[in-house]
Structure 1
Amino acid sequence: MDFIVAMHTDKGIKKNTNQDSLFVKVANTSQGKVAFSVVCDGMGGLSKGELASATVLTAFSNWFTGSFSHILNSDFSDEDIKTQWHNLVIRESNRIMEYGQRNGVSLGTTATVLLIAKGRYYIMNIGDSRAYEIGDRVSQITKDQTFVAREIERGNMTPEQAKSDPRRSVLLQCVGASKVIEPDFFVGEAKKNVVYMLCSDGFRHEITESEILRYLNKDVLLDETSMKDNACYLVELNKQRMELDNISVTLIRTF
């Protein structure tokens, strides 16, 4: 499997800082090419959210170039990836919480992580950043760990009610601000000729799934330039529609 990738981020029209952290990488290995991406959204209402998101991002980047490179040549299992990622986020969450306690500040971050290796995808999610698979339609892989998503699942709220509920931004957990971290994991077959997208919540509030499909489908994303241009276009469209949050997206196009 081969990949082309792109990413784009913008602080948006209101905030003075960008508390999102993101990367996307492709590596040539003895087991074929692998792709890896992370999106972390530092808590907008908490001080030093950018420090929290950057801390988690750096930890996963180091994992990719360190621990993962060591296990790649072994016959690793799905559980091996889950265990290493779970241990990593617990360690980093404790570090961030200890930093906050020492300095009298509150900080935290979401974390959405995607690895494509050996024909499979591995996704971890904490918070409300998202992972999507874009083929003939836009399919959300992750589930938001938010108050309103939980209430919708329980039948206590409709999606329309959730859009205007004042608690729509309340997270059930995040890295660095929750004493107990329970990530969601998703594992499946990685498909050729689709687009895998990670995004912070600011990317998806003001645009529709039909717009995402129109500008980020496999037939229009043919090279890095078109991927970057279309990602930028949708970010600017969010801003034109008065999205106030930081806006971030990473794209992996498979072949």
Structure 2
Amino acid sequence: MSFTVETCVAQHIGDRAEQQDRVGLFTHPTRPEILLAILADGMGGHSGGAMAAEQVVIKGRQDLDVFAPRHETAEQLLGSVLADAHTVIRLTRFTSEQDPHSTAVVLLLQGDMVTWAHCGDSRLYHFRGPEIVARTEDHSLVGELQRQGRLDEHQARSHPQRNVLLSCLGSDREPRIEYGHARQLAEGNSFLLCSDGLWAYFSDDELAQTVHEHSARAAAETLIGRARERAAGGGDNISLAIVKLVPAPKRLFR
């Protein structure tokens, strides 16, 4: 069954002095059925994090513009985006007194196929209707403790070291980049990219239900509103991108 794509990107500065997240949604210059969504959560002192996150989004757009799907796989494109951003962020350390780093999560939609990659603790969720299909695993200390069975979801949310990352772009270590994909997609599938300023306040089920029940724009407004309420004056920057596959409009013939 045919479908169309409904999208939305949204941000809120939260209770921080500066917005250091970046998010973008771009189409291929000659292949409009190819869509890239990208989100980065920057870290590194005043303006350093914003600069790092900006480089991730810039590299995403630049690499998408020269993407040749007949000669390059989706994983090669996404891997080059994150590797290129990592290199540029590291180079900025030599020209400034800052220590910039960034997380990154990026999704490439090609027709009925989606491929994604991530580094850090910004997340991608894949929903089918109101059910969760997949979620990226955080490259964080708390995420590792959860994988080892030493913390449950409730304990992870309140752990004092929940913001400690084990991998990110711009660090001295090569970034840990993980990939995922979904094939033969149909209407009813949706994808959410978001920073920890959003996902920290929701269960997977609540995110799935909200995205399912609303349009992309209404879901974004609802999620940001609830996150702001639950942060109670102590919220981080919030960024998100929603990609929903919805029924194609019916054509009327005379």
Query: Normalising by the residue count of structure 1, what TM-score does the alignment of the two structures yield?
Result: 0.85
- Counterpart check, 1:207 vs 2:202: yes
Structure 1 residues 67-82: aligned runs within 5 Å: 67-68=66-67, 71-72=68-69, 74=70, 76=72, 80-82=73-75
Distance 1:147 1:103 in 2: 28
Aligned residue pair count: 240
Cα distance change of structure 1 residues 63 and 27 upon mapping to structure 2, 3 Å threshold:
closer
Aligned twin of 1:3: 5
Q: Which residue of 2 aligns with 1:224?
A: none
Change (3 A) 1:47 1:231: same
Which one-letter code corresponds to 1:25 in the other structure? F
2:152 to 146, 150, 158: 158
Partners of 2:74 and 2:108 within 8 A in 1 = no
Supply the distance in 2 between the matched residues of 1:249 and 1:17 (Cα, whole angstroms). Answer: 17
Matched position secondary structure for 1:16: coil
Whole-angstrom CA distance in 2 between matches of 1:245 and 1:33: 34
Give the structure 1 partner of residue 21 of structure 2. 20
Compute the RMSD of aligned alpha carbons.
2.2
Structure 2 residue aligned with 1:125, among 112, 118, 122? 118
**One-letter code of the match for 1:57?**
V
Change (3 A) 1:92 1:213: closer
For the structure 1 residues 42 and 118, does the alpha-carbon distance in structure 2 shift closer, same or farther, using more than 3 Å as the test?
same
Unaligned runs of 5+ in 1: 222-226
How far, CA to CA, are the matches of 2:147 and 2:24 in structure 1? 31
What's the TM-score once normalised by structure 2's chain length?
Answer: 0.85
Match of 2:224 among 235, 238, 243: 235
Cross-structure match for 1:98: 91
Report how far residue 21 of structure 1 moved: 0.4
Instruction: Give structure 2 stretches of 5+ with no counterpart.
Output: 247-254
2:190 equivalent among 186, 190, 195: 195
Q: 1:253 aligns with which of 232, 244, 254?
A: 244
**Inter-CA distance 83–209: structure 2 relative to 1 (3 Å threshold):** closer
Amino acid at match of 1:189: R
* Aligned 8 A contact 1:39 1:57 in 2: yes
SS in structure 1 of the partner of residue 101 of structure 2: coil
Q: Name 2:35's counterpart in structure 1.
A: 35
Q: Distance in 1 between matches of 2:224 and 2:9?
A: 11
- Counterpart of 1:89 (choices 54, 62, 82) is 82
Aligned 8 A contact 1:128 1:145 in 2:
yes
2:44, 2:99 within 8 Å by CA — same for their partners in 1?
A: no
Task: Report the CA distance between 1:103 and its aligned residue.
Answer: 1.5
Secondary structure of the structure 2 residue equivalent to 1:103: coil
- Residues 170 and 45 from structure 1, CA distance in 2 versus in 1: closer, same or farther, beyond 3 angstroms? farther
How far residue 84 of structure 1 moved from its aligned partner, in angstroms, is: 3.5
Q: Give the counterpart letter for 2:226 in structure 1.
A: L
Range with bigger deviation, 1-10 or 80-89: 80-89
Look up the match of 2:251: none
Identical columns (%): 22
Q: Contact (CA 8 Å) 2:28, 2:64: kept in 1 or not? A: no
Q: Do the aligned residues in 1 keep the contact of 2:45 with 2:99 (CA within 8 Å)?
A: no
